[in-house]
Amino acid sequence: MKVLILCTGNSCRSQMAHGFLQSFDHTIEVYSGGTEPAAQVNAKAVEMMKEVRIDISSHVPTHVNTYLDQEWDYVITVCGGANENCPTFSGKVGKRLHIGFDDPSHATGTPEFIDSEFRRVRDEIRKSFARFYITEIRKEALPQCSCGGNC
Does the annotation count 145 as an active-site position? Answer: no
Catalytic residue, chosen from 79, 145, 147, 151, is 79
Q: Is 7 a catalytic residue?
A: yes
The one catalytic residue among 7, 12, 147, 151: 7
**Residues 115, 44, 14: CA angle, nearest 5 degrees:** 110
- Annotated active-site residue in 12, 86, 147, 151: 86
Sheet containing 72-77: give its strands across. 29-34, 2-7, 72-77, 93-98
Tell me, yes or no, if 86 is annotated catalytic: yes
Q: How far apart, in Å, are the Cα atoms of 91 and each of 49, 102, 137?
A: 31, 29, 20
Catalytic residue numbers, as ranges: 7, 79, 86
